[in-house]
Amino acid sequence: MLNGTRRISALAVAAALVLSACSSSATPSPAPTTAPQDTPVASAPAVATTGAATAVTYRCTKGDGQLNGAGATFPFPLYSKWGADYNTKCGVKLNYQSIGSGGGVKGWQQNTVDFGASDAFLLDTEITTAAANGVPVEIPVAFGAVVVAYNLKGLSAPLKMTADIVAGIFDGKITKWNDAAIAAANAGVTLPASDISVVHRSDGSGTTSIFTTYLTKASPDWVTTVGKGDATKSAGKTVEWPTGLGASGNEGVTQGINQTEGGVGYIELTYALANKIPFADVKNSSGAFITPSLDSVKAAANLPTYPADLRFNLANSPVANGYPITGSTWLIVYKDLSKVMKSQDRANALVDFLWWGIHEGQNDSAALYYGSIPAGLLAQDEAAVKSITWAGQPLLP
Amino acid sequence: MAVRISSKAGQGGPAAGSFARRHLLNGDIVFRLVVAASAALTIGLIGLMVFDSVQAAWPAFQTFGLGFVTGIRWSPSFTIYGALPFIYGTLLTSVIALLLAVPIAVLIALLVTEFLPPQIGRPVAIVVDLLAAVPSVVWGLWGLLVLVPFIRPIEHGVADGPGRLIPFLGPPTPGPSYFVAGVVVAVMIIPIVAALTREVFATTPRLQREAVLALGGTRWDVIRRVVLPIGRTGLLAAVLLGLGRAIGETIAVTMVIGNAPKIGGSIFSPGFTLASVIANEFNEATEPLHAESLVGLGVVLLVIAIVINGAGVAVRRRFERSAGRGR
């Protein structure tokens, strides 16, 4: 539809040029305009709104010349790009250790890092554990998709899957690729009669958390089978898998899928794209089958409203064109930094970095296949960063 | 040894002079202190490690009691920790590895010491030794990328044919399994076992070999009646060292065993070992008692290693005693 109107307008422009200038040498062809379509369109609104709402300037407080963070592996490529870019811009080094979300939360609780990073917002119990140090500010900064990737030969289009199919495959109830449920969702596709070989993560992981949180929300059968009826047990960084092989890391699961005819597993979108593994379109809460992509991740993250504490969950997002297995990743800092940091200078360096991250840092997202902060969320993210204080005094103007 | 040296110093004559000159300046006491300190440090470190591990794992032991060792369900999300699937996996992969590695290693050692002339035997020995220098993660990659696809059809063939009738050889056969892990570990311990047994066989007294040959014995008779009986204590020590490595091998096993925390009914089933579950889960062990239970697995692993080593010492003593009687 968009392509059609564009092409028509381009043709009109071309015709006008030919008519007016009487020269056909420099007419732009309509084809290239469609190719780089998503990147500029994607980042444009965010930049525009920030420009309008607040004048984005960066103080670049040096502090001690470095900031330490630890946590989630999922946003690690983004944070390492941030580290390089922010060092170039402000001369502050970022040491980020991607030790896993659990480690990030621990590091934040024990105040061994300036900020923690996690693919799940803090549990109430995790907040009370750190109560002696103060209360947290949780800032969502990036969004990503987890895809159901498979190894099946001879399929021309992505398979379509519903939540019940995905749950059935991963809880061991669906064992053949030509199962009636899969066939029903993929009318007209010839499915092989081969065995399904499930690969899941063997290490605790935010990726598992995003995937199982989705299944818990969207499939009652998953809660019954895996959580024995308890939704807190069927979602998390580790669950009790009824079937399948375990593999360590996204790369391990990718390898496991690649190696086994009939293999299926869940991995981050980036890994599936990089390894050219096909992945399924998944039915979302409004009944549409959605292809995981940067656009559908952004759509899923674009909620109508966000809770004030920014502890929200994108699994099975209510947005009409959003991909349902989407997750976000948070940076976690203390609200009052005077209790946990030695110098106000370093605290200033931290909030300056956070401020930069939610603005200019967002330009790094698309190239690394992360969804950036939606326009509707940015104001709340800004407010969150501004709420960070030094003994009650805001650190940012 | 220290005693002998000091007694010699004592014989140095009355002119040797003061106590300090005799005992301190010749380094005797200093040396003894250094030796004692390093021994104490080593023992102290082991003791501290055991104490710390047991202490860190204590909440898990206290909660689950004997069930921690006998339980067959490992579920962090339900706070249920039973180590039996991992104990089973560790022992099964080690046994498979030993069954494959020891005969091959012994044959290599015999080939080098008994059959090949030194100018050929030495390079062969060096190449075998070089295998020990390959990092385990490389073996793991090789196992995952080469061995698993290679073995999978064989597993299929066995499991769907004779395996249907024979226990422990049946389906399912997804690829990664106890068997593949055993093969990878076998390849890893062959060089160690081969090198040690080679040394043992090389020390066989020449007179005894020649005696057998003089009596009209063949080379096979030499090996059967002299080399193997005399070398069996050393052979046992070599096997135990190999077993020690097999039990503790982590990363290579993790990559090829399938990491499924259950007791697989077949050697072709995916499983898990004590070492690999610790490596897999420790980073994100945030559930209650999860980290404590993982340390508990470490204690179990330690106990298994001690029991096996103890058994090895006992068996060696018996060998030595019977060998002494035989003489």
User: Number of folded domains in chain A?
Assistant: 2
CA-CA distance, B132 to B106, in Å (whole number)? 16
Strand, helix or coil for residue A289: strand
- Per DSSP, chain B holds a count of helices (H) and strands (E) of 15, 2
- Model confidence at A20: pLDDT above 70: no
Cα separations (Å) of B146 from A249, B140, B191?
20, 10, 20
Statement to judge: residues B4 and B110 lie in one domain: no
For A278, left (φ over 0), alpha (ψ -120 to 50), or beta?
A: beta
Residue A315 placed within a domain: no
Statement to judge: residues B232 and B265 lie in one domain: yes
Percent of chain A with pLDDT over 90: 71
Statement to judge: residues A251 and A355 lie in one domain: no
Cα separations (Å) of B57 from B130, B274, B298?
38, 14, 9
* B129 or A12, greater pLDDT: B129
Q: Is B296 on the interface with A (CB under 8 A)?
A: no
Burial of A324 (0-12, 13-18, 19+ CB in 10 A): buried
**Chain B partners within 8 Å of A236 (Cβ):** 77, 287
Statement to judge: residues A182 and A199 lie in one domain: yes
Residue A320 placed within a domain: no
pLDDT the model gives residue B24: 60
Statement to judge: residues A166 and A225 lie in one domain: yes
Residue of A nearest to B73 (CA): A240
pLDDT the model gives residue B173: 76
Statement to judge: residues A284 and A365 lie in one domain: no
Q: Is A316 on the interface with B (CB under 8 A)?
A: no
Q: What is the mean pLDDT of residues A12-27?
A: 40
The CATH number of the domain holding residue B282 is 1.10.3720.10
The CATH number of the domain holding residue A172 is 3.40.190.10
Residue A316 placed within a domain: no
* A78 or B27, greater pLDDT: A78
Statement to judge: residues A149 and A295 lie in one domain: yes
Statement to judge: residues B10 and B77 lie in one domain: no
Statement to judge: residues A181 and A260 lie in one domain: yes
Statement to judge: residues B161 and B264 lie in one domain: yes
CA-CA distance, B224 to B115, in Å (whole number)? 14
Tokens of B212: 């057998």
Question: Using one digit for the tens of pLDDT, what is the confidence trace for A258-302?
Answer: 988 899 999 999 889 989 999 999 999 999 999 999 999 999 999
Strand, helix or coil for residue A145: strand
Percent of chain B with pLDDT over 70: 90
Strand partners, A371: A143
Strands (E) in A151-239, as ranges, are: 160-161, 197-201
CA-CA distance, B83 to B289, in Å (whole number)? 13
Q: What's the gap between Cα B110 and its chain centre? A: 21
Statement to judge: residues A290 and A189 lie in one domain: yes
**Chain A partners within 8 Å of B287 (Cβ):** 236, 238
Strand partners, B168: B266
pTM: 0.81
A93 is in which domain, residue-wise? Answer: 2-143+326-394
Note whether B35 and B47 are within 8 A (CB): no
Strands A115-118 vs A281-283: parallel, antiparallel or unpaired? unpaired
- Residue A136: phi, psi to the nearest 5? -90, 155
For A173, residues 6+ apart whose C-beta sits below 8 A from its C-beta are A167, A221, A225
Residue A314 placed within a domain: no
Q: Nearest-CA neighbor of B162 among B268, B11, B305?
A: B268
Query: Helix-strand-coil percent breakdown of chain B, rounded to 5?
Result: 80, 0, 20
Statement to judge: residues A174 and A130 lie in one domain: no
Half-sphere exposure of residue A231: CA atoms within 13 angstroms, side-chain side: 8
Tokens of B178: 């106890």
C-alpha dihedral over B141, B147, B149, B152, to 10 degrees? Answer: -130
CA-CA distance, B7 to B165, in Å (whole number)? 71
Confidence of residue B18 (pLDDT cuts 50, 70, 90): low
Beta carbons of A204 and B149 less than 8 Å apart: no
Question: Which region among A236-240, A266-270, A312-316, B318-322 has the lowest average model confidence (pLDDT)?
Answer: B318-322
Strands A136-150 vs A160-161: parallel, antiparallel or unpaired? unpaired
CA-CA distance, A11 to A22, in Å (whole number)? 15
CA-CA distance, A364 to A314, in Å (whole number)? 21
Q: Which of B9, B33, B64 is the last residue of a domain?
A: B64
Amino acid occupying residue B203: T
CA-CA distance, A63 to A262, in Å (whole number)? 54
Statement to judge: residues A139 and A30 lie in one domain: yes
Q: What is the mean pLDDT of residues B181-210?
A: 93
Q: Is B255 on the interface with A (CB under 8 A)?
A: yes
Half-sphere exposure of residue B27: CA atoms within 13 angstroms, side-chain side: 4
Statement to judge: residues B28 and B96 lie in one domain: no
Statement to judge: residues B58 and B77 lie in one domain: no
Strands A197-201 vs A245-247: parallel, antiparallel or unpaired? parallel
- Model confidence at B313: pLDDT above 90: no
- DSSP type of residue B72: -
Question: Using one digit for the tens of pLDDT, what is the confidence trace for A335-378?
Answer: 999 999 989 999 999 999 999 999 999 999 999 899 999 999 99
pLDDT the model gives residue B325: 54
Residue A318 placed within a domain: no
Strands A393-394 vs A389-390: parallel, antiparallel or unpaired? antiparallel
Residue A85 placed within a domain: yes
Statement to judge: residues B160 and B116 lie in one domain: yes
Beta carbons of A204 and B259 less than 8 Å apart: no
- Model confidence at A142: pLDDT above 70: yes
Query: Helix-strand-coil percent breakdown of chain A, rounded to 5?
Result: 45, 15, 40
Count of Cβ atoms closer than 10 Å to residue A245 Cβ: 25
CA-CA distance, B15 to B284, in Å (whole number)? 70
Cα separations (Å) of A394 from A332, A344, B271?
17, 11, 54
Nearest-by-Cβ selection for A260 from B174, B280, B281 = B174
CA-CA distance, A209 to B282, in Å (whole number)? 17
CA-CA distance, B253 to B91, in Å (whole number)? 13
Question: Using one digit for the tens of pLDDT, what is the confidence trace for A21-44?
Answer: 433 343 344 444 333 334 333 333
Tokens of B140: 């793991």
CA-CA distance, B233 to B312, in Å (whole number)? 10
Statement to judge: residues A378 and A290 lie in one domain: no
- Residue A74: phi, psi to the nearest 5? -55, -45
Average pLDDT, chain B: 87
Nearest-by-Cβ selection for B280 from A202, A228, A241 = A202
Q: Is A247 on the interface with B (CB under 8 A)?
A: yes
CA-CA distance, B80 to B60, in Å (whole number)? 10
Beta carbons of B175 and A259 less than 8 Å apart: yes
CA-CA distance, A14 to A76, in Å (whole number)? 45
Half-sphere exposure of residue A212: CA atoms within 13 angstroms, side-chain side: 30
Percent of chain A with pLDDT over 70: 86
Q: Nearest-CA neighbor of A266 among A274, A154, A257?
A: A257
Beta carbons of A246 and B259 less than 8 Å apart: yes
Nearest-by-Cβ selection for A238 from B77, B148, B176 = B77
Confidence of residue B155 (pLDDT cuts 50, 70, 90): confident
- Model confidence at A397: pLDDT above 80: yes
Residues 228-247 of B with CB under 8 A from A: none
pLDDT the model gives residue A44: 38
Q: Please, where are the H alpha helices in A187-280?
A: 206-218, 220-226, 249-259, 269-274
Note whether A249 and A243 are within 8 A (CB): no
pLDDT the model gives residue B93: 96
Residue of A nearest to B146 (CA): A259
Tokens of A270: 């980036």
Statement to judge: residues B274 and B309 lie in one domain: yes
Tokens of A271: 């890994």
The three-point CA angle B81-A241-A158 to 5° equals: 160
The minimum CA-CA distance between A60 and chain B, rounded to whole Å, is 34
CA-CA distance, A306 to B113, in Å (whole number)? 76
Amino acid occupying residue B253: V
Q: Which of B39, B64, B89 is the last residue of a domain?
A: B64
Q: What's the gap between Cα B119 and its chain centre? A: 31
User: Number of folded domains in chain B?
Assistant: 2
Question: Using one digit for the tens of pLDDT, what is the confidence trace for A42-88?
Answer: 333 444 444 444 556 788 998 899 999 999 888 999 999 999 999 99
Residue A28 placed within a domain: yes
Strand partners, A333: A137
C-alpha dihedral over A370, A376, A381, A383, to 10 degrees? Answer: 170
CA-CA distance, A301 to A19, in Å (whole number)? 46
Amino acid occupying residue A159: L
pLDDT the model gives residue B324: 58
**Chain A partners within 8 Å of B286 (Cβ):** 102, 105-106, 204, 237
Statement to judge: residues B91 and B231 lie in one domain: yes
Strand partners, A389: A336, A394
Note whether A227 and A234 are within 8 A (CB): yes
Q: Which of B64, B81, B111 is the last residue of a domain?
A: B64
Statement to judge: residues B141 and B226 lie in one domain: yes
Q: Please, where are the H alpha helices in A186-242?
A: 206-218, 220-226
Beta carbons of A103 and B258 less than 8 Å apart: no
Statement to judge: residues A162 and A288 lie in one domain: yes
pLDDT the model gives residue A15: 41
Burial of A186 (0-12, 13-18, 19+ CB in 10 A): buried
Confidence of residue B102 (pLDDT cuts 50, 70, 90): very high
For A132, residues 6+ apart whose C-beta sits below 8 A from its C-beta are none
Statement to judge: residues B118 and B87 lie in one domain: yes
Q: Is B141 on the interface with A (CB under 8 A)?
A: no
Q: Is B285 on the interface with A (CB under 8 A)?
A: yes
CA-CA distance, A299 to A320, in Å (whole number)? 8
Strand, helix or coil for residue A361: helix
Tokens of A342: 């030695």
Q: What's the gap between Cα A278 and its chain centre? A: 19
How many A-B residue pairs are in contact by the CB < 8 A criterion? 78
Statement to judge: residues B60 and B160 lie in one domain: no
B131 is in which domain, residue-wise? Answer: 72-326
Statement to judge: residues A41 and A52 lie in one domain: yes
Tokens of A274: 């990089």
